[in-house]
Amino acid sequence: MKIRIHDKSLVYDFNIIYYYVAFDKQLSSTFGDIKSFENFMAENHPDINFGDVPAKYAKHLEELQAEASKGVYKDEYGNTSLYCFICGDTLCSSFSYVGIYEKLSDFISSQKSVNDGYVYTFLAHNWSFDWGNNGAYKIKYWYDKDKGGDAYKIRAFKDKVLFEQGNGLIHSMIVSDNYYIHYEGKQKE
């Protein structure tokens, strides 16, 4: 957004810069005002909590407009951006490029370490586990795609298996690199 300084040919340039990761590259998009950014978020990320982004934006815009109406130009406000990215289910923001980039890098590295060794996800309505004949954990599961309802997710990693509820909470976990998962049919007998 360009805010013209009263009685001068100078402007304050205020934008929202949104960072995201696609195809393992960190990218960004620039929005000239809060309305276009809110429209983007409503269309693409309707479930994300805006956090304090609108309040930060409104406060800084008010400061810039007050200075501009007085005819005052401050170099530090000449080109200002509110940087943000999605962190979990919330929009994280900062006026500091360095600060937001540190947070984004930390978030990306933690996500990679959480998913390190991921193999596959199985949907299940029921499961059981026991020791197999070969000393490995034997995980049996039942799943009926026609049944509907919330299925659990059995997430297999190289060294663990997570049993996740439909709302994302972990129900159980087996820590082992010696296991196998076997489909047993639609209904548990």
Kindly report, residue by residue over 30-54, the tens digit of the pLDDT: 999 999 999 999 999 888 888 889 9
What is the predicted pLDDT for the residue at 97? Answer: 86
Q: At residue 134, what are phi and psi to the nearest 5 degrees? A: -95, 10
- Are 82 and 56 in contact by the 8 Å Cβ rule? The answer is yes
Give me the residues paired with residue 18 across strands.
Answer: 29, 84
**Its pTM surpasses 0.85:** no
Q: Provide the percentage of residues in the chain whose pLDDT is more than 90.
A: 26
CA proximity to 124, closest of 158, 179, 162, 174: 162
User: Helix crossing, 53-69 with 34-44: angle to 10°?
Assistant: 160
d(CA 100, CA 87): 11
Q: Which of left, alpha, beta for 49 (phi over 0: left; psi -120 to 50: alpha)?
A: beta
> Helix, strand or coil for residue 124?
strand
